[in-house]
Structure 1
Amino acid sequence: MARAKRATLKSIASDLGVTHTSVSNAYNNPAKVSAALRDRILAHAAEVHYEGPNPAARSLRTGRCGAIGVLFNDQLSYAFTDAHDIAFLRGISSVCEEEGANIVLIPLKDKHPERLDNLTAIVDGYILNAPYKSHPTIRKALARGLPTVVVDFDAPQLPSVLTNDREMMRSVVSHLIDLGHRNIAIVTFPWSQDHGELFALDRDVSDENHVVHERVLGCRDAFDAAGVPAKGILVCETPNDEEGGARAVDRLLRRQHDLTAMVCFSDRLAYGVMARCDALGLSVPRRMSVTGYDGIDPPGRPREGLRLTTVRQNAFEKGRRAAEALLREPGKAGSPIRIAAEFVGGDSSAAAWELETE
C-alpha cells in the first residue's frame, strides 16, 4: 500500500488553487491575506494534517528564527514572582503575540551557570532589562551584534526605554522633607551585582546600574535643595525582595536609631521594611514613614491596609514599547522612548515623629 504523501505549503496551494505565497502568508504574515482566505487555508491544512511551516527551515530561509531574548537581573523564578517584572513581560508578550514571535528568558543569575550558556539560544535580538553594564552575559549579548533594545539602561548607541527616575526620587524625598523629616535612610537594590554595602549618600555611586544611579542622584538633589547634608544620609544595599527590606531595617537602625523615614527603591523593599517596623513596634506611618517605587501590589498581597506612598511606573507599557522597537524597527537608534512615572501619595508617610529626649 502506497504511503500518503506529506502535505506541504506547495501541495496546499495546489489543492486550493492559490499561490504558494498566499499559503505562506496565512501562517507567517496573516495581515497580507484576507481573513476569509486565511480561514480557508487553515481549514484545509487541518483536513490534510498539515501543522505549519517547519521552524528550522523557515529560519534557514529567512535568516530569522521568530524569537527574542529577554535578559533580566535575577534568577528565572524572580520574573514570575515580582509584580513589576510580571507586568513588564506581559507588555513584551502582547507585542510578540501580534508579531508571531516567541520569548526566551535569560536570567543573569543562575545557581549552576556552568551547565548552560543561555546565549547559545537562537534569537533574532535582545531586550536588556535594567542589567549591570559590565556583567559578562551582557557583554557577550552586545558582542553578538544582534538588534538590541535596552530598558532602564544607559546606552546612547542603542534604542532605549527609560523612566524619569531622577525626577521621581526628587519628588519622593521632597515630600518627606516637607513633612518635617530629616533623619531619613535609603534602601536600594544593589548598584553592582551582589553588593550589600551600607554607605553615606555623599559617596559617588557608579552608573553600573542606571536605575540605582539615577534614583540616588534624585535623592541627593532633594537633600541638597533643602540644605540637608548628604553625608548624614545612610544608603543600604540589599536584595530586591521583602526579606531584603526587612534586613535593611535592622542594619540601618543599628547605625542610626533615630530614623523617622525610609525611602525604598521598590515596593517590595518597602513592604518588607513596613513588616519589620511593625514587628519592632515602630508603627507606620506614625513612628516610621515608608515610601516605595513601582506602584504595583506584589502577587498574593491583600489590598486592604495602608496605601503605600510610592511612584507608579507603567511596567506594561515599558515592555510593550521595548518589544515594538525591537520587532518593528530593529536597529533604529535615536532619542530614548520615555515612559513617565508619577508620584502617588498614600497612607504610609506622615509628619515626622520627634524622638523623645531625656
Structure 2
Amino acid sequence: MARIKRATLKSIASDLGVTHTSVSNAYNNPAKVSKALRERIIAHAQSVNYEGPNPAARSLRTGRCGAIGVLFNDQLSYAFTDPHDIAFLRGISSVCEEEGANIVLIPLQDKRPAQRDQLAAIVDGFILNAPYRSHPTIRAALARGLPTVVVDFDAPDLSSILTNDRAAMRAVVDHLLALGHRHIAIVTFPREEGNGEIGSLADDFSDESHVVHERIEGCRDAIDAAGVPRAAVLVCETVNSEDGGARAASWLLRRRPELTALVCFSDRLAHGAVTGATALGRAVPTQLSVTGFDGIDPPGGAPSPLQLTTVRQNAVEKGRRAAEMLLMPDGREVRTVSIDAEFVVGDSSGPAPADAPR
C-alpha cells in the first residue's frame, strides 16, 4: 500500500506558489501577512488536512510553547467548583483566547509532585493566584525566572494585581460595630498551608497568605478604633467551603453563645455559617449577623432569600488584567494594578439583639 504523503509547510508553500516564511507567518505571526493571503493559506491547509505547525517543533524553534501556568492554593477540582475561581479563570481564558495562548492549571495541593513539576516546565510564564509564600512549588516557579504576575500577593519585584482587602474588611467590621455589635468572631481560610486553628485577633498573623494578613489587619483597624480588646475576638481557621463555614459557626457559637456577629472571609464560608447558625436555632440576622467577602452567587446558583452583607470584588477583571499583564507587556518591568472591591450591605446583618451583653 502506498504511503500517503503528509502535508508540510514547504509543500503548502509550493502548492500556492508562496514562500515558506509566508505560510509560517500565517500561523505564528499573522500580522506579517495580509488577511487575504492568510485566509488563502489556511483554506488550502485545511483542504489537505494540515492542522498547523507541530507544537513541539515550534517550541524548540521559538523558545516558547504558547501556554501559561496558573498556580492556585487547592486541588484541581476546586478551580471548577469555587465560584470565585471559576470567574477568575474565565477572565484569564478570555485573554488567552484573544492571544492564542493555552492555560495549564497547577494546583498546589497535588499528591503527585513529580507530575506537577513536569507541567510547570512547559509554560512560558506564571500567574500566581493568592499563593502561600513559602510553598515549594511557588518557590520553584519563581526560581525559573519566567515572566510572572501575582494576584492577591505582595511581591515588590513582580507585577501584581491587588485588591483593597484591608480597607474593605475594615468597612465590614465598622458596619457591624455601628450596629451595636461587640461580641464578634472571625471565620477565615487558613493563614498557612494545612493550618486549621482557633485563636484570637491578638495572635501573630504572618504574611504567609497576603489575603488573610490584609483582612486580619482590616479587622484590627476597626476593632482597635472601637476599643474592643483583640483577645476578645476569636478567629477560627477552616477549609474554604460551605461545610467549613458551618462547622466553624457551630464551634464558635457553642463556645461563645454571646456572639452576635460572624465575620467570614469568603461568601462560601458565610453561606455555611448561616446554615450552621440556623441549625443551632440562631436566626440571621435578628439573633446573629453574618458577613462574607467576594460577592458571588449562592451554592448551586439558586437564588437565596437572604442576600449577604459582603464585599463584592470583580474576579473576572482580576483574571483579565493578570493575563494581559503577562501576555501583553507594555515595556515596564514591574507594574501594580489595584482593583477596588465594594462593600455591599445585604440582609444578613442587622442591629445587635437588645438583650446582647455589652
- TM-score w.r.t. length of structure 1: 0.95
- TM-score w.r.t. length of structure 2: 0.95
Secondary structure of the corresponding residue to residue 300 of structure 1 = helix
Secondary structure of the corresponding residue to residue 282 of structure 2 = coil
Verify: 1:201 aligned to 2:201, yes or no.
yes
- The answer (yes or no) to whether the contact 1:95–1:323 under 8 Å persists in 2 is yes
Residue of structure 2 in register with 1:270 after alignment = 270
Q: What is the rounded CA distance, in whole Å, between the counterparts of 1:256 and 1:114 in structure 2?
A: 45
Q: What is the rounded CA distance, in whole Å, between the counterparts of 2:104 and 2:31 in structure 1?
A: 25
Q: What is the rounded CA distance, in whole Å, between the counterparts of 1:144 and 1:330 in structure 2?
A: 22
Residue of structure 2 in register with 1:69 after alignment = 69
Q: What is the rounded CA distance, in whole Å, between the counterparts of 2:40 and 2:349 in structure 1?
A: 61
Name the stretch that deviates more: 5-14 or 199-208. Answer: 5-14
Amino acid corresponding to residue 63 of structure 2 in structure 1:
G
Quote how far apart the aligned CAs of 1:33 are.
Answer: 3.3
Residue of structure 2 in register with 1:210 after alignment = 210
Residue of structure 1 in register with 2:295 after alignment = 295
Quote how far apart the aligned CAs of 1:299 are.
Answer: 4.8
Q: What is the rounded CA distance, in whole Å, between the counterparts of 1:112 and 1:2 in structure 2?
A: 45
Name the stretch that deviates more: 125-134 or 21-30. Answer: 21-30
Residue of structure 2 in register with 1:162 after alignment = 162
Residue of structure 2 in register with 1:230 after alignment = 230
Amino acid corresponding to residue 269 of structure 1 in structure 2:
L
- The answer (yes or no) to whether the contact 1:277–1:283 under 8 Å persists in 2 is yes
Q: What is the rounded CA distance, in whole Å, between the counterparts of 1:62 and 1:287 in structure 2?
A: 63
- The answer (yes or no) to whether the contact 1:158–1:331 under 8 Å persists in 2 is no
What's the C-alpha RMSD, in Å, of the aligned pairs?
1.8
Residue of structure 1 in register with 2:349 after alignment = 349
- How far does the alpha carbon of each residue in 1:291-348 deviate from its partner, in whole angstroms, 9 at most, with x for none? 1000011451311311111101111111111111111119953341111111111111
Name the stretch that deviates more: 29-38 or 103-112. Answer: 29-38
Quote how far apart the aligned CAs of 1:118 are.
Answer: 4.7
Q: In 2 relative to 1, CA 314–15 (structure 1 residues): closer, same or farther, beyond 3 Å?
A: same
Secondary structure of the corresponding residue to residue 51 of structure 2 = coil
- The answer (yes or no) to whether the contact 1:148–1:331 under 8 Å persists in 2 is no
Secondary structure of the corresponding residue to residue 124 of structure 2 = coil
Q: What is the rounded CA distance, in whole Å, between the counterparts of 1:88 and 1:306 in structure 2?
A: 25
- The answer (yes or no) to whether the contact 1:258–1:355 under 8 Å persists in 2 is no
Q: What is the rounded CA distance, in whole Å, between the counterparts of 1:310 and 1:81 in structure 2?
A: 20
- How far does the alpha carbon of each residue in 1:228-286 deviate from its partner, in whole angstroms, 9 at most, with x for none? 22121111100000011011012212331110110100000000000111111111111
Name the stretch that deviates more: 253-262 or 343-352. Answer: 253-262
Secondary structure of the corresponding residue to residue 338 of structure 1 = strand
Amino acid corresponding to residue 317 of structure 1 in structure 2:
E
Q: What is the rounded CA distance, in whole Å, between the counterparts of 2:292 and 2:244 in structure 1?
A: 14
Matched positions, count: 357
Quote how far apart the aligned CAs of 1:150 are.
Answer: 0.7
Residue of structure 2 in register with 1:279 after alignment = 279
Q: In 2 relative to 1, CA 344–10 (structure 1 residues): closer, same or farther, beyond 3 Å?
A: same
Residue of structure 2 in register with 1:135 after alignment = 135
Structure 1, unaligned runs of 5 or more: none
Name the stretch that deviates more: 69-78 or 12-21. Answer: 12-21
Residue of structure 2 in register with 1:258 after alignment = 258
Residue of structure 2 in register with 1:312 after alignment = 312
Trace 1:73-92 onto structure 2 (pairs within 5 A).
Answer: 73-92=73-92
Quote how far apart the aligned CAs of 1:353 are.
Answer: 1.1
Quote how far apart the aligned CAs of 1:13 are.
Answer: 2.1
Q: In 2 relative to 1, CA 53–295 (structure 1 residues): closer, same or farther, beyond 3 Å?
A: same
- The answer (yes or no) to whether the contact 2:202–2:231 under 8 Å persists in 1 is yes
Residue of structure 1 in register with 2:189 after alignment = 189
Q: What is the rounded CA distance, in whole Å, between the counterparts of 1:104 and 1:130 in structure 2?
A: 17
Q: In 2 relative to 1, CA 261–320 (structure 1 residues): closer, same or farther, beyond 3 Å?
A: same
- How far does the alpha carbon of each residue in 1:130-188 deviate from its partner, in whole angstroms, 9 at most, with x for none? 01001111111111111111111111001111100001001010111111111111100
- The answer (yes or no) to whether the contact 1:196–1:237 under 8 Å persists in 2 is yes
Q: In 2 relative to 1, CA 114–43 (structure 1 residues): closer, same or farther, beyond 3 Å?
A: closer
Residue of structure 1 in register with 2:327 after alignment = 327
Q: In 2 relative to 1, CA 299–66 (structure 1 residues): closer, same or farther, beyond 3 Å?
A: farther
Q: Percent identity?
A: 73
Q: What is the rounded CA distance, in whole Å, between the counterparts of 2:330 and 2:78 in structure 1?
A: 28
Q: What is the rounded CA distance, in whole Å, between the counterparts of 2:115 and 2:326 in structure 1?
A: 29
Q: In 2 relative to 1, CA 263–217 (structure 1 residues): closer, same or farther, beyond 3 Å?
A: same
